[in-house]
Chains A and B, each alone.
Chain A
Amino acid sequence: EAQVTQNPRYLITVTGKKLTVTCSQNMNHEYMSWYRQDPGLGLRQIYYSMNVEVTDKGDVPEGYKVSRKEKRNFPLILESPSPNQTSLYFCASSTRRGDGYTFGSGTRLTVV
């Protein structure tokens, strides 16, 4: 089944403790991106990648890192999480820029 897989689905962590949210797609998509969704603010793009080793900032990149060493994986790294990064995170992929996205099921992160 064609899908984007995120892990974990839920995560509670403490301020400052580094964490990684994994994202993997099995559709050979070139384009991958990370979003956060907050009430009243909608979806905002954090980072995107157009291909292996090619990444760029979205609208809200501060406090996040990404890497794209393989085409299928695009992990999101929070080096020192803070409470304002409590949010619902989505990974998404598409064949190329401007095409429809396939979204993962989301990761609900709480930073205390």
Chain B
Amino acid sequence: SQQGEEDPQALSIQEGENATMNCSYKTSINNLQWYRQNSGRGLVHLILIRSNEREKHSGRLRVTLDTSKKSSSLLITASRAADTASYFCATFESGGSYIPTFGRGTSLIVHP
């Protein structure tokens, strides 16, 4: 199955700054999801955006989806040290696949 790709691979910022990470994919999707993983722990679901949606918010998170460019972005505003983690996008292809495709992730470090 095709793989989503996050960009950048690593991001280092200061507390209070905004963090933006991007996800690109190759085929038509049903939905796209973002997850957070603290070092060595299980992934935590952050937000799901459907193919007919363009933007979604959840607290300090803002996700956009551009299906024409096959890309999504995750914006974390006013970042905190506790946001330090890896962030993954996962896509569900339209057409019946039961296999979500995870990207390799963006490693975010937020310095206090």
Contact = CB atoms under 8 A, between A and B. Distances in A.
A101 B88 contact: no
Give the bracket for the number of chain B residues in contact with chain A.
20 to 34
B40 A88 contact: yes
Contacts of B105: 42
A103 B104 CA distance: 17
Contacts, number: 56
A69 interface: no
> Which bracket fits the contact residues of A?
20 to 34
B99 A40 contact: no
B25 interface: no
Contact of A101 (B41, B43, B104): B43
A40 B104 contact: yes
Interface of B: 1, 3, 30-31, 33, 35, 40-45, 48, 88, 90, 92, 98-100, 102-105
